[in-house]
Homo-oligomer: A and B are copies of this chain.
Amino acid sequence: MKDQTQLRVVQAAGPIFADKGFDRATIREICTAAEANLASVNYHFGDKETLYLEAVRHAHALKMEQVPLSQWPSNTPPEEQLRFFIRAMLSRMLGTDELDWGTRLLMREMIEPTIACKSIVEDFIRPQLQLLLSILDEMVPQNISFHRKHQMAFSIVGQCLHYRVAREFVNLLIPEKERAEHFDRNHLVDHITEFSLAAIKNLPIPDSSEKKTS
């Protein structure tokens, strides 16, 4: 049977799309990397855009199978669950540059959404959000509203996201030495966890009354 060139092409396309973007990535480069003929993209996928879509879905499927959502004992206290969650999310985002092209693809979808965006959110993002919400559920009053729980969740996610999205800015803002010493993954997990826990536990709980909006 043929040498699975279709598969080789998708696999080669992922990293290339990830770090050069849709436009800068050329079919020629992808096919060369996949050791496939130039025409194989149009033969197997129709055009460049559907190859991109397929590559994103492939990356997404990979992430799903290699990063299981939750895996802690069922009796883990919610505070520790949150720490685990944050650790996992930060790990995914700050992945060493070898194999984090999946995340890079995701970032691109964020600021320049394509058709792949919707399925990514439903299959990949939403389950994570649900998990985070269920952790929060054990720490906040039962009667808290939908949107407040979501706002808290986004506050936590945002803190993690920052170190990926604004990574280059952080590098320029924080001196090398300081960064190596206090902004590595472990310290960031600790900080974000404690910052968030302190916030969650001391947040005022006015749910029905409107708040001052200056």
Which residues of A pack against B, CB within 8 Å? 21, 23-24, 80, 83-84, 87, 107-108, 110-113, 117-118, 121-122, 125-126, 129, 146-148, 150-152, 154-155, 157-163, 165-166, 168-170, 172-174, 178, 181-183, 186-192, 194-196, 198-204, 211-214
Contact = CB atoms under 8 A, between A and B. Distances in A.
Given A154-B162, A201-B202, A204-B194, A107 B111 contact: yes
B168 A117 contact: yes
Nearest to A202: B198
Given A147-B182, A165-B110, A202-B202, A155 B121 contact: no
Given A113-B168, A165-B111, A212 B195 contact: no
**Secondary structure dominating the interface of A:** helix
B194 A203 contact: yes
Nearest to A154: B162
Contacts of A125: 169, 172-173
The 9 closest A-B pairs by CB, nearest first: A158-B162, A199-B199, A23-B23, A147-B182, A198-B202, A186-B213, A158-B159, A113-B168, A121-B172
27 contacts: A21-B21, A21-B23, A21-B112, A23-B24, A108-B111, A110-B169, A121-B169, A125-B169, A129-B173, A146-B178, A151-B182, A151-B188, A155-B159, A157-B162, A157-B166, A158-B160, A161-B165, A161-B166, A165-B165, A187-B213, A189-B214, A190-B211, A190-B213, A194-B203, A198-B198, A198-B202, A201-B202
